[in-house]
Structures are given as structure tokens and as C-alpha cells.
Chains A and B, each alone.
Chain A
Amino acid sequence: MLHTLLKSTAEKSGLFHGGIEPEMSKITANSSISTSMIAPVYIVPIKQHIGEPCTPIVSVGEHIFRGQKIAKSEGYVSVPVHAPTSGKVVKIEEHAIPHPSGMGLPSIFIEPDGKDTRDESLEPIENYRERDPAELRERVRFCGIAGLGGAVFPTFIKLLKDQRNPIETVILNGIECEPYLTSDHRLMVEKPENIARGIDIIMHMVGAKRAIIAIEDNKPDAADAMRNAISSIPDMEHVEVHLLPTRYPQGSEKQLVQVLTGKEIPAGKLPMHIGVLCQNVGTTHAIFDAVIRGRPLTERIVTVSGDAVPRPGNMRTRLGTPMSFVFAQHGLEHFEGLHILHGGPMMGERLKAADVPVVKSTNGLLAMKSETMMKSHKVEQPCIRCGHCGVACPVNLVPNLLADQCRSEQFEKAESYNLFDCIECGACSYVCPSNIPLVHYFRYGKGQLAQISRAKGFAEASKERSEARDARIEREKEERAAKRKKVRATHKPKPADEKPAEERADEGKPTDEKSDSKGSES
């Protein structure tokens, strides 16, 4: 009842279902973006996006320039990796990446020469409005741009002018609803013209007629900056700034599209299926850099914050900078007893060590004192069926039920209750009075389901191979038998009667056919 009531009010007011209002703690909202010093070493993992990993194209000892391509993409869903500074490749070996497993990937280690010379081979494209969108798309792909909001999906794939799904509206996602994070906020305040030009490039590429810049009302300075920037650039009257009420997880693509257009993206579909394209602020700025300046993606804005950081701030950091070096510039050098989070406190992942590099998905680095984390992670109590989690869920799931199913290993059942629609926003865990780590259960369930489906696929492939082998052995056996018969018949020293030999030779054929048909059957 309450559920339906809330749903109907949500639909009326153009809001998404559920959501929460956490303590925002945006302590770095007013600290301007500083630039990181050159690190003593850069560790560049060969895969920083969703999709296939890249292959290194530099060798140990080679001197490279900033922006030079050092790993090429393999496959379609992939973007190349570029050198963050000029220097020497010292080694290529596996190194831990920011991942909750603490596992690693092959990484290129670069020792800077301190000169920071750029590779200037990419020509700046000033007159992008006269250029072919396909050419610009190739530029975006070449420059290694992936969604910098955290999902790191290769951006060029979304920037397709597709006749079947024409894009009408481009949405610039300046929501940044995660507590603590302010990297997009500061970028909008400090570089609004670049972002506006970036939007114009995207609109030209996909042929969109209008664009919406969505900003939450806790960032009025960013909205003002963007408004001024739009009015200062000619031909941008179809771009408008929407100020939305602050609510987590409004920055999630599906929720934001629902709020702005009133249309819900169906399960398993993308925004482009309803004519919408969403881009993150950082990604849009990276597109501007790639097209107008001819610079590949080698740096991003990272919010360094948390109650254990003495001097929190926003920092322009090159990809591959060791996190310990980033924290050291903000006054934090000892990590004992601290929780290091990669990303925001709601969706970010806890890291096992701080020696991992900054990658394309690093929108924030938080260091929390253990006491604060322990206070929020109390002992899990039994579910009291209060229903708060269902009210808070932005995708209309029933979290308590799903958690029970995951806990008792009824994964298929959880899947039928749309476990995969969960966006892992953490709103349910946040409101749970029994401190049930709901999202953690969902991640466990999703992982187990993925493993089950992988095992199933492997079993099917093995079965196919095994059956093919059996059929082959059977066929070979029959062929041999037929041959033997034939040989025996022709070499039989009884020349007086030739008829039986002929008959036998004919017999060989039908058996052959038989075995063939058997082989094709199985």
C-alpha cells in the first residue's frame, strides 16, 4: 500500500522511486583543483575500462612521451592506454589494481624524466562542427576515453549516430550524488567553458537537438557557472541547466533519465533505446581535451577526502600515480588502521592496500578512521520486516527477500526476482535498522550466478567436444572395419568366383553412409 502510494507520488512529481538523503559531507566543495606533482614512478595497468584488456606496444627501456599510446586495444569494447608523462619504461609486470579482490593486472612501470614532454602527433580539431562525426568518434576512441563517472564503459561506443536509435537529448550528468565526492562539482565551477564545448561536440557527433545539464541544488555555484558558459558560446540555445532536488542515487543513469524525461528505461535496455545519451562531466571534459586540444586521456580529477586525511582536496592526478603518493600530498602517510575507499562511501570499494595506482575509474579516494567505519557497520541483526529497504530501493526491488534468497543459496529464485536489476547503490543497506549488509549479499548472489552460468557454458562446450570425439572414434572404427573387409575381399586368393568380392565391396559403402549419418546426428 505504502509502496504504491509512494510510487504514484514519485511518478507525479517527476522523481524516481525511493532514494535516501545521506549526510553529504562534501568537505572539499570549496577547495579548488590542485595539480599533483610528478610521481617517482607511474604504474599503468593495461586495462582500465570495462571490456577486453589491451596489449602493451612498448618495450622495457624504451623512452616514451606524454600522451603516447603504450597499449593498444584488442576487440571492439576496448580503448587504448597512454603514457601519463615522458620517461622510460622500466618494467612490465603484474601489479595490484584498485579492485576489492586485491588481485593484479599486467602494468607498465614508467620512470619519469622530469621534462614531461608531450607527444604532439595528434592534430587539434578546432572546427569540429564541420568534421565528420565518424572521424571525431575515432578520435575519442583513440584517446582512450571511458566513462569517468566510475563505470568506465568505452565512451566512443555510446557516441554512435545510429539511424535505428536516434539520440534526441544529451544529458550531462553533473549530479554527483555520492557523499564526499566533489570532483565533477569543482570541474564545473572551474572549467565550465570546456565542458560546454564538450557538450557541443557530443551533440554534433550524435545529431542531438537539445541537451540538459542536470545539477543537484546543493551545487548552485556549478549551475551558475554552467549557465554563464552556455550563454557565452554562440549557438547553444538548445542547452538548458536543470537544478534538481538533492537525493541519492539521482546520479545513477537510469534514475536521472527517469527524473528528466519521465520515461523509465526498460530492464536490459540502454538510454539510447529511448533516444537519450548520458555523459559524465569528467568524460565530457576529456572529450573536449581529445578533440580541441588533441590530448589523450592521461589525467583526471580525484577527490581526496575522508576523516583521516589532514588536508582534503580535489587534485588533477595522472593515471598511474600510486595512491600512497596522492595521499601523501594531502598529508596522509600512514595507513595502519584506516579504511581506504576507492570511490564514494556508498558505492566505493574498500582497498586492501594503498600501493595501487589511480586509474580511469578513480573518482574519489577516501581514507576513513576505523572507528567511524566500525560505528556504521554494527553487528548484523535478524530482519524485522520493516520494509524500509523496499521503500528506499530506486529500482523497486524487495531487498530483504533477495538477501534471504542469496544467503540461503536460492540464486535462481533471486534472479527471477530481478536481482540483476539492482544497481548496488547501497540505499537499502543505509536505511536497514538491523544493519544487514544487503548490497554485499546481492554482490555475492550476482557473482555466484555468474559462476553458475560460466560453469554451464563450459559444461555445454565440453559435452559438445566429448560427443564430437565419440562420434569421430565411432566413425574411424567403422571406416577401419570397412577397409579391412574390402582389403580382405580383394586379396582373397579365390579367383574362380568374383561375385562375392564385388558384393562385399558394395557392402562397404552402406556402412560408410551409416556411420556418416550417425556422426551428423550426434
Chain B
Amino acid sequence: MTQLLAATLSFGAFALLFGVLLAIAGRVFKVEGDPIADNIETLLPQTQCGQCGFVGCKPYAGAVAAGEAEVNQCVPGGERTMLQIADLMGVEPKTVEDEPSAPMIAFVREDECIGCTLCIKACPVDAILGAPKQYHTVITDHCTGCTLCVEPCPVDCIDMLIKPELLEHWSWPLPDTDRSRLAMVRKGQHAPYTA
């Protein structure tokens, strides 16, 4: 009987002790924000283009973390980003429907610009420079190619150009052999989302 009592009391005391410790730890080491959403956000290309249906990369990351959005909605990220997100979330990969377009940059035809600043307000990454009634211009190194500035322009003076390939950014293509092509084809066939 005493043994039973001692066991019950000691276990009760331990439970109480750990309960208190956990409660303190929960307060002291409280994590602000959603770590999963943050991790997803670092995987996204940060174009802030809104092609996923959300206003930016951060809201989309939050929606994926909350299970409210699919993993395949990021178009510029393509298959690579989709696979990474699916891996992080532990869900089955899904096909990315739209092919990512070639990297683009916006270009303001300065002769036609009336200096209305509407595109400056639309740019999600502050990549357009200008002031009221002054020509605006795109900082090409900062432009993510999201196309959000094209629509608001009242005189349609913004073009989306294909980003010129720089010599320093050139990289070797995959060797042109039957086996490397075969590897690409096989990869497509064996991926779980097309089986």
C-alpha cells in the first residue's frame, strides 16, 4: 500500500514539476511568427508577382503553411521550388501547370512617359525610379520581372523585355548525349505526380 502511495505521489510530483517547467519554457522560448511559413518563404523566388493568387510571396507562404494553398502555385519558381515546398510540407508533389517564362525585365520608354508615378506605386520591390512629372526608369538589377507595373501605366509605355544573358552568367549546358537526354525523360516518367 505504501509502495503504491509512494509511486503515485512521486509520479504526481514529477508530472507537476515537468508541467511547470514546460509552461515556463513555453513562455521563455516562445517563437514569434510561423517558422514553417518563414522556411517556405525562403524557398520562393520573391518576384512578388502575384501569379499564385496571393498579393506577394509572404502571404502565399503563410497560406501554404496553413494548408490553405497548394504547393504548385508559384509559377516563376517552377518545378524545383514546387518540389522543395512539397518536401518541406511532407506532401505529394503536384505538377506546375504553367511553364515559367524566360526571365524578363521591365523597360520604360522614357520619351512616352508622362511622369504619373503609378508604376512606381505598383512596383513591389521599389525597382522604378522617378518623381512626379519626371521620366521614370527601371533599375534593371532590381527588377524581378513581375509585370505588375505594366497594367497601371495610363500611356502603355512599359515593355517587358527578355533579360539579356550576360557573359559572366553564362553556364555550360547539359552534355548533348543520348544518356543525358534519357535521364531527363526518365525523370519525368518516374516522378510520382505523373505516374
Binding site for B on A (CB under 8 A): 97, 99-101, 103-105, 379-382, 407-409, 436-437, 440-441, 443-444, 446-448, 450-451, 454-455, 458-463, 465-466, 468-469
Contact = CB atoms under 8 A, between A and B. Distances in A.
B114 interface: no
Contact of B177 (A100, A380, A446): A380
Contact of A460 (B46, B58, B177, B183): B46
Given A103-B165, A447-B171, A450-B171, A463 B183 contact: no
B46 A469 contact: no
A444 B126 contact: no
Contact of A459 (B44, B124, B142, B175): B44
A462 B170 contact: no
Interface of B: 41-42, 44-48, 56-58, 124-127, 142, 144, 165, 167, 169-175, 177-180, 183, 187
A101 B125 contact: no
Nearest to A97: B167
Contacts of B57: 463, 466
B171 A448 contact: yes
SS class of chain A's interface: helix, strand, loop or mixed? helix
Contacts of B144: 458, 462
A407 B180 contact: yes
Given A101-B170, A463-B57, A437 B124 contact: no
B172 A469 contact: no
Given A100-B172, A463-B57, 18 more contacts: A99-B167, A105-B167, A382-B179, A408-B183, A436-B179, A444-B171, A444-B173, A446-B172, A454-B169, A458-B144, A459-B45, A459-B46, A462-B45, A463-B41, A463-B46, A465-B127, A466-B48, A468-B126
B178 A380 contact: yes
A437 B173 CA distance: 12
Contacts of B142: 461-462, 465
Contact of B125 (A104, A440, A462): A462
Nearest to B47: A462
A459 B61 CA distance: 14
B96 to A, nearest CB: 15
Interface centre among B127, B144, B171 (most CB of A within 10 A): B171
A230 B127 CA distance: 61
A504 to B, nearest CB: 30
10 contacts: A101-B167, A407-B174, A407-B179, A440-B175, A444-B174, A451-B169, A459-B45, A462-B125, A462-B142, A463-B41
A211 to B, nearest CB: 35
Nearest to B124: A466
A455 B46 CA distance: 10
Contacts of B124: 466, 469
Contacts of B47: 462
B175 A444 contact: yes
A132 to B, nearest CB: 35
A469 B167 contact: no
B125 A466 contact: yes
A379 B177 contact: yes
Given A103-B165, A459-B44, A462-B47, A437 B175 contact: yes
Contacts of B183: 407-408
A379 B44 contact: no
B29 to A, nearest CB: 19
Given A459-B45, A459-B46, A443 B125 contact: no
Given A379-B178, A465-B142, A466-B125, A440 B187 contact: no
A379 B181 CA distance: 13
Nearest to A445: B172
A68 B44 CA distance: 50
Contacts of A437: 175, 177
Nearest to A455: B45
A501 B47 CA distance: 46
Contacts of A455: 45
Given A379-B178, A460-B46, A466 B56 contact: yes
A441 B177 CA distance: 11
B144 to A, nearest CB: 5
A101 B165 CA distance: 11
A100 B172 CA distance: 8
A465 B126 contact: yes
Contacts of A100: 172
Contacts of A444: 171-175
Nearest to B32: A521
A113 B167 CA distance: 32
A446 B45 CA distance: 20
B43 to A, nearest CB: 9
A469 B56 CA distance: 12
